[in-house]
Amino acid sequence: MTTAFDFDVTDIHGQPVSLAQYRGHVLLIVNTASKCGFTPQYQGLQELHDRYASQGLWVLGFPCNQFGAQEPGSDLQIEQFCDTSFHVTFPLFSKIDVNGGSAAPLYKHLRATAPGLLGSERIKWNFTKFLVSKDGAQVKRYAPMTKPAQLERDIEAMLKA
């Protein structure tokens, strides 16, 4: 069975990263954007990272410019914005597509594993969240308007499992 841990991605500095290094940890994977109404969720994501990293949670941010062109900057500009505006310390990755033919393989997998409302696989907007269990067998999907703090109960349950 393929899981999120079977994919390779590129970090914000252009370096390859195997998600296998996170096996045994809970992942919160989020497609992000710097100029979106949901951008303040970076703060909540950072708070989750700060609160639960020592227990095994990794928040992973994947910038995406597919929704209203709300992530127009370069990877360096995105990283600087996240650091200056929200003091983000969780891992950020190179800008990707999450829908369409050029969608990142990781996102194709997440969309198929945890479809959205009425079974739709399409990502609707920035800050769609996927919570992945330690073994990768469970994936839960959350809408963009779901605030990071609203995920705490599910995060705690996955961390204890």
The residue among 140, 160, 153 whose CA lies nearest residue 48 is 153
Catalytic residue selected from 33, 36, 103, 110: 36
Q: Is 64 a catalytic residue?
A: no
3-state DSSP percent of the chain in helix, strand and coil, to 5? 35, 20, 45
| Structure-token pair, residue 94 | 């190179």
The gap from C-alpha 153 to its chain's centroid, in whole angstroms, comes to 18
Cβ distance 157 to 57 under 8 Å? Answer: no
Distances from the Cα of 51 to the Cαs of 19, 57, 90, in angstroms? 22, 9, 12
The catalytic residues are 36
